Amino acid sequence: MSTELQGRNTSEWIEQARVQLADQLDMHRAQLTELTDDTGDPRDAHTQAALIVAARRGYDQAVEALARIAEGRYGRCDKCGGDIPRERLEILPHARYCVPCTS
């Protein structure tokens, strides 16, 4: 567990992040279900395909973040192993990298 996330109210905060990520997962799942329904209008195909890709990416990011929480790796950068600041995780709960490693 990231030392940045250790301390008072950490387990409560991580549980809130888990709930937020689970909500995002449900939202993306619903979007994917809706988007994969064929409208029959070929003019919508390109836009629909782009929306499916975006929803699938969001779905995968939420699944991966929930797995990191379950494994106790949430808040650790996948590249350098350092802490991901809590503020970054509050804005981007599925963040896998600290800011320096995103460059």
Q: Note the pLDDT tens digit of each residue in 50-99.
A: 889 999 999 999 999 999 999 999 999 999 999 999 999 999 999 999 99
Instruction: Read off the pTM.
Output: 0.75
pLDDT at 5 over 60: no
Q: How confident is the model at residue 39 (pLDDT cuts 50, 70, 90)?
A: low
Whole-angstrom distance, CA of residue 79 vs CA of residue 56: 23
Would you say 28 and 72 are in contact if contact means Cβ atoms under 8 Å apart?
A: no
With H, G, I as helix, E, B as strand and everything else as coil, classify residue 72: coil
- Compare 42 and 94 and report the one with higher pLDDT: 94
Q: How does pLDDT run across 16-34, given as a tens digit for each residue? A: 999 999 999 999 999 888 8
